[in-house]
Amino acid sequence: MKTQIIVALDGLTAAEALALAEKLAELDVVFKVNDLLDDPGPQIITDLSPFGRVMADPKFHDIPNTVANRVKKLVDQGPDYITVHASGGLAMMRAAVKNADSSQILAVTVLTSLNEEECHLTFGNPVKAKVLYFARQAAMTHVHGIVCSPQELKFLAGFPELKTLIKVCPGIRLLNEEVKGDDQARKMTPGEAKLHGADFIVIGRPIVQAPDPYQAVLNIYTEMEKVD
């Protein structure tokens, strides 16, 4: 399976997101919705579906019953993927999987905005140790995949019990890309992420704000094709 692109539609209006999705429909990318789940609401998933697969990114984190109810309602809109926080625990992830129907559950490990110091302060462990812990818990609950930094991929590849998990990687930055106020602490280029085993890479602004988003996606795939 080649590394595929998830286009983050964060910060766009519904009209902007739909117009962009229509432009990219032929490229078989996945569209990630986060704040759009609040405005205009979950219906945006159904509206985007004619243009490609949709990743609903609410990052649910609550008691198992609450997450079960929220996943069940969100599934009615037909998302291909739904995110939850692995830190919510085994029972919570199992509840999400039980109510996912045909959607696939992705468990977020350690947010890519956290560096080593912040991970220690938040979880009491180094990044790799905590990502491994959450990934193993995710595998135990039969979620379909995890969300992690590409920097942890090579390390995780050493654990056979994690091989079947889909690996989704934010924290992607293009070669020579300059980002003002960059909120990603653990990052790699698309080519590096592919080389380390990413199934999906999440990219927002370099595509969304490009003069030609269609060509921007093609350029990223071309960059990844150069990596063996």
Of residues 176 and 112, more confidence is placed in 112
> 200: which strand partners?
4, 168
Residue range 140-171, pLDDT digits in tens: 999 999 999 998 999 999 999 999 999 999 98
Going by pLDDT thresholds of 50, 70 and 90, the confidence category of residue 188 is confident
What integer pLDDT is reported at residue 184 of this predicted model? Answer: 56
Which listed residue (59, 72, 98, 128) is catalytic?
A: 59
- Please say if 59 is a catalytic residue: yes
Q: Which CATH architecture has domain 4-225?
A: Alpha-Beta Barrel (3.20)
Residue range 38-47, pLDDT digits in tens: 999 999 999 9
What integer pLDDT is reported at residue 225 of this predicted model? Answer: 87
Domain range summary for the chain, segments of one domain joined by +: 4-225
Q: What percent of the chain has pLDDT over 90?
A: 76
Q: How far is CA 14 from CA 34, 57, 74, 136, in A?
A: 12, 15, 18, 36
Of residues 30 and 226, more confidence is placed in 30
Quote the distance between the C-alpha of residue 20 and its chain's center.
19
Residue range 54-88, pLDDT digits in tens: 999 999 999 999 999 999 999 999 999 999 999 99
With beta carbons less than 8 A apart as the criterion, state whether 152 and 192 touch.
no
